[in-house]
Structure 1
Amino acid sequence: MLSPFLSGFFITWARLRKEYNTELKIFFLSPEQNIKESYGFENEVMLVYAPFKSMEPRTLQAVEQIYSQSPAKGRVETLNYFLVSDDPKVREWLDTYTSSRQESRIIVSFTRKELEENRGNTWFVRNRLNEQFFGRDLFNYSLPLIEDTYFFGRQQLVMEYLDAIKRKENKAVFGLRKTGKTSFLFKLKRLVENEKIATVLYFDCKQPDIRKSRWFELLEEIATLLKKHFSIKETLIFDDKIASKSFFKLIQYVKNRNKQVCLLFDEIEFVSFVAKLDSHWHHDFIEFWQTMWSCQSQLKNFSFIISGVNPSVIETDIVNGVQNPLFGIVSHRYLTGFSEDEVRIMIRTLGKRMGLKFDHFSISSIFKWYGGHPLLTRLACSWLNTTLSAEAQKPIDINNEIFEGSLKNRG
């Protein structure tokens, strides 16, 4: 079964692993130099053999668990792996399973039977790699990233905010639309949970069920989630009079268990005194954040991170004649575009796996043209992929002249 991989790879590690009640055979393959250059591999590639007659979601769930553990973590490629199955329809199953999962890794699949039938074919694995890698547009995604697979840049900022959560400090991040604020929050949430620093709850404040809530109803929603997470049975009343007291009591329960809570509020403008759609937040803002401020100042096991476009929610000192509870207790940063180095890493990492080789000058021009904006940069590279793929066979070398020419074609 492994013979076709020996033309281009060395097997460096192998184990039986059991996750999600599924036993898999795991191999690490070290690519030869020509394979590294052709497909952009920098680390070893994981090969998973699932010896079952039919594919099930738990197989891929088990693989994700293996990715998060030693020795795979930090050692193997994160964007792709090989999957071998006894299921003759493994490719069709994967196409269906991953079609709705925008961020799924590139899974290069084989049946055991076809590998055994191609033991002497030195090009079999490479042809499959070309088919899987060069046929997918990895630049073409625009939704917030809920997984680490395609998250690039922001490492220094992530570490700064992670340290703030460890110290139970509040932070805010602001920036233009589509600069990656939500993806940043999801990344932070994953890290906090992986390191077991705190229980993290994320709230998208533009959701109608949240922005239409009164301040005490939103407190009750947060409390319901916390009670469920910590298995707290006590009944607490959340109405306009004692909601703050009930919330304080709940956070105290959590503190007594020596646990920490961090709340993430995205699109904060929708539940603030600048809200355009729900005017009750012009007044409810004070009640809600006074509760948060009081809990944090007294119990010390509680913090929050907010994000949005308009920093006035924390920079305005007086709201409706009352001190703004967020004024002076939330430090913030503006989320700007990627640095040129971050743009270069993203473009080259994704481009190589698609058969696109960007040279230094083309990437510099892309960075200058789009200012490091993550979404605009990806869309531009996606457009290049679409137009160039129709004209030439991959792999394709992209220089500055090709990029500059594409600007004219786009008008």
Structure 2
Amino acid sequence: MPTYPGVNNSFALSAFPLAERQIIMRLAQHFYITRAAEPTQIGNSSYRAFLMRPSEGISAALNVEREIAVLFADYETFEARTLRAFDLTCDQFDDVRVDRSLRFLISRDQNIESSIRHYLLQDLEYPIVIPYRYDDFRSATEDFIFNAIRRNYLIRDLFGYQSPLKHEYFFFGRKAIVEDVLDLHKSGQNSALFGLRKSGKTSTIHAIQRRAKTAGCQTIVVDCQDPAIHAKRYGPLLEQIITEVRQELNLKKIEVSLGSSPDQISAGFQRHLNDALNAAGSDVLLIFDEIENISPRTAASAHWRTEEDALLFWQITRSFFQNAKKRKMTFCFVGTNPHLFELAQLNGIANPVYLFAPKTFIPMLTQADTKEMITRLGYFMGLDFDAGVVAHIYQRFGGHPFFTRQLCSHIHRRTQPNRPRTVSIAACNEAERGAVSDLQNYMKEILSNLNSFYPDEYSMLEYLARGETSTFKEMVDYSPEYVEHLIGYGLVIRRGDDYEFAFDAIAEAVKRSLKDTGEATREQKWANISKRRNNLEQEIRGALYRWSDTLEPDEWKLSVEACLSKPRLAQLGVLSRRQAFSRNSSPLYLIELLKFIQQSKQSRASQISEALNVVNNHRVDAHAKDIEETEYQRLNDALAFLEDVFLPPP
């Protein structure tokens, strides 16, 4: 049903002074004035407010359908308490009909726009505030209303927020996931959410907590990345969970000691937790964030990674889950990879959390969600993104909220201040080139994290980047869960029987990584060769010194003259055996050592000479060059032969 401008018949217009009534009637030409709020008193200051709903045309422009809070601040100086008054006013209308992300402020501060900027920059997640002066409403035209809306870019960059979103104001998409987690909790089931870094996991946790609060659900978040968590052994961590449950349920603080043996700890945990839940008459949703930090193979502390702590911890918590009496505690596991729930065994014992919760991967934003985020925030930044530009951004970043925001932030910073302006695809490409260092570094960080903890999945991305589709499909057949993870992360999509990268930026990032890896591998190869060659030269000098010690002085002199050229003899002068074959200060080159080996009549002199020639041909000045794999293998073989001859056994 369309909304028309006007004033609701029951609206208490008389509760406002004349100047404010005139402003309300001016706004009523574009909005439907619905409800008046009770005046808010903060200290000696009093604030009046009301709600209004945009009419059909305004609603489409603002991308807002719900009611908007409007606050009068009848003071000549803006103070931070005004923002607090906004919060208290909105709390009076705790229903879904009120838009929480947008607020109108009408102030007598003649510099309200610059005054409010300082405060909003300290809280980047605070809702959009459109500031007006009382005097603005004396304007003969209506332009001032819409100009103020579109001048928000002068106050702050709505796209530039980088930390996890703690409030709902700028949280787009993923609402269905939040509801699913709470529905599973209410029905006594567990849940699990997975995603790569910067995919919005922590923002989703905050959203779950907000929604749980309005639904009357108790939640506790255990940040497993915190050393205060993962550095604890399984018993003390279970004790801490009981303490936090009691605190969340407003129960009396008690000293919790579960004992030292696994049977004591398990019995104590179940007893204490049942007592707490029953005393409060409440269920609890326990959210484990960054779960890999207390998981086998990936844990941040060794006792979780390789010892029995993970097994015992999950055995005890699963036992409580299965045997809870009147009240229950369910779990939501949040992390990067679901491998903990896919392992049938931990340390050779049945994994207590194998298939313990349904896996859900936090999806990228849909194209519709991406459009809503870009166009809504862009409108208040004086930037118009048409459907073609949104589609281009979506193709570049696949709906990844962090990268999409960062690109739009760079577009904002590069756009001239005379707005509104329409954003072109060329402007997008120019902004991306300008932001290439930041965007590539973020992408590299994400891929590096995947490679460090889950190298098999990362290898599959490399196969795809190289075009090795048959190898990729072999991996799919070998471990279907790997490609399930990559598709869940939003990095890969399946089209028919084929797989491809889900969006352009990730394909380019993996290909860049391949190139970087190739360069690193080349350096690693040369570093390996240099290290082995240096070790060999030392051992060869030692062997030659022992040989030279068997020679008479005249024999040693003849050997030196036979092995060194006349210019080198003149340069080095009289050379003692100790000087010639010193491990650290010998002046002899490898090719000269080779001649001494030939003089020594070593039983495998010809093979040694051939191998030393191969090594000598790859001198230090060749290290800047690429080395073919066949040549690298030949060099390795030569080094291995010489090491077998000269190096002592390990």
- Pairwise TM-score range, normalised by the shorter structure: 0.7 to 0.9
The amino acid of 1:152's aligned partner reads F
Which residue of structure 2 lines up, in the alignment, with residue 214 of structure 1?
A: 233
TM-fit CA distance, 1:243: 3.4
Query: Which residues of 2 match residues 4-83 of structure 1 at below 5 A?
Result: 4=23, 6=26, 9-10=30-31, 12-17=33-38, 24-31=47-54, 36=59, 39-50=62-73, 60-68=83-91, 70=93, 73-83=95-105
Q: Distance in 2 between matches of 1:289 and 1:20?
A: 51
Which residue of structure 2 lines up, in the alignment, with residue 335 of structure 1?
A: 362
Partner deviation per Cα, 1:66-99 (whole Å, 9 max, x = no partner): 43554x6333433221234567886676444433
Contact 1:106 1:133 in 2 (8 A): no
Q: Secondary structure at the match of 1:337?
A: coil
Which residue of structure 2 lines up, in the alignment, with residue 167 of structure 1?
A: 187
Which residue of structure 2 lines up, in the alignment, with residue 190 of structure 1?
A: 210
Structure 1, unaligned stretches of length 5 or more?
none
Q: Secondary structure at the match of 1:107?
A: strand
Root mean square deviation of aligned Cα: 3.0
Are positions 1:144 and 2:164 aligned together? yes
Q: Distance in 2 between matches of 1:396 and 1:42?
A: 24
Partner deviation per Cα, 1:377-410 (whole Å, 9 max, x = no partner): 11111111111x23x6211112435434555666
Contact 2:152 2:380 in 1 (8 A): no
Query: Which residues of 2 match residues 338-377 of structure 1 at below 5 A?
Result: 338-377=365-404
Partner deviation per Cα, 1:84-129 (whole Å, 9 max, x = no partner): 456788667644443332211122345xxx5158634545544443
Partner deviation per Cα, 1:265-323 (whole Å, 9 max, x = no partner): 11111111123531011321122222211111111511010111121111111111222
Contact 2:407 2:435 in 1 (8 A): no
TM-fit CA distance, 1:40: 4.4
2:312 to 287, 291, 302: 287
Higher fraction of helix: 2
The amino acid of 2:321's aligned partner reads Q
User: Which range moves more in the overlay, 77-86 or 258-267?
Assistant: 77-86
Contact 1:14 1:25 in 2 (8 A): no
Q: Distance in 2 between matches of 1:135 and 1:59?
A: 17
Which residue of structure 2 lines up, in the alignment, with residue 249 of structure 1?
A: 271
Which residue of structure 2 lines up, in the alignment, with residue 261 of structure 1?
A: 284
Partner deviation per Cα, 1:315-348 (whole Å, 9 max, x = no partner): 1111112222211221111123111111111111
User: Which range moves more in the overlay, 306-315 or 24-33?
Assistant: 24-33
Contact 1:4 1:120 in 2 (8 A): no
Q: Distance in 1 between matches of 2:150 and 2:100?
A: 18
User: How many residues get paired?
Assistant: 404
The amino acid of 1:329's aligned partner reads F
Q: Could you tell me the TM-score, scaled by structure 2's length?
A: 0.57
Q: Cα distance 1:93–1:304, how it changes in 2: closer, same or farther (>3 A)? A: farther
Contact 2:311 2:351 in 1 (8 A): yes
The amino acid of 1:214's aligned partner reads R
Q: Distance in 2 between matches of 1:94 and 1:401?
A: 34
Partner deviation per Cα, 1:208-242 (whole Å, 9 max, x = no partner): 21121221222222222222233235543134333
Q: Cα distance 1:202–1:150, how it changes in 2: closer, same or farther (>3 A)? A: same
Partner deviation per Cα, 1:118-144 (whole Å, 9 max, x = no partner): 634545544443433454321111211
Q: Distance in 2 between matches of 1:58 and 1:368?
A: 43
Higher gyration radius (CA): 2
The amino acid of 2:296's aligned partner reads F
Q: Cα distance 1:91–1:245, how it changes in 2: closer, same or farther (>3 A)? A: farther
Are positions 1:103 and 2:110 aligned together? no
Which residue of structure 2 lines up, in the alignment, with residue 298 of structure 1?
A: 323
Q: Cα distance 1:333–1:50, how it changes in 2: closer, same or farther (>3 A)? A: same
Which residue of structure 1 lines up, in the alignment, with residue 637 of structure 2?
A: none
Q: Could you tell me the TM-score, scaled by structure 1's length?
A: 0.87
Are positions 1:396 and 2:415 aligned together? no
Q: Distance in 2 between matches of 1:44 and 1:265?
A: 36
Q: Distance in 2 between matches of 1:410 and 1:253?
A: 55
Contact 1:217 1:239 in 2 (8 A): no
Q: Secondary structure at the match of 1:286?
A: helix
Are positions 1:177 and 2:197 aligned together? yes
Contact 1:104 1:149 in 2 (8 A): yes
Q: Distance in 2 between matches of 1:128 and 1:280?
A: 58
Q: Cα distance 1:55–1:394, how it changes in 2: closer, same or farther (>3 A)? A: closer
TM-fit CA distance, 1:17: 2.1
Contact 1:174 1:334 in 2 (8 A): yes
Are positions 1:316 and 2:337 aligned together? no
Q: Secondary structure at the match of 2:99?
A: coil
Contact 1:134 1:353 in 2 (8 A): no
Higher fraction of strand: 1
Contact 1:359 1:400 in 2 (8 A): no
Contact 2:224 2:291 in 1 (8 A): yes
Q: Distance in 2 between matches of 1:395 and 1:223?
A: 55
Q: Cα distance 1:117–1:92, how it changes in 2: closer, same or farther (>3 A)? A: closer
Contact 1:25 1:49 in 2 (8 A): yes
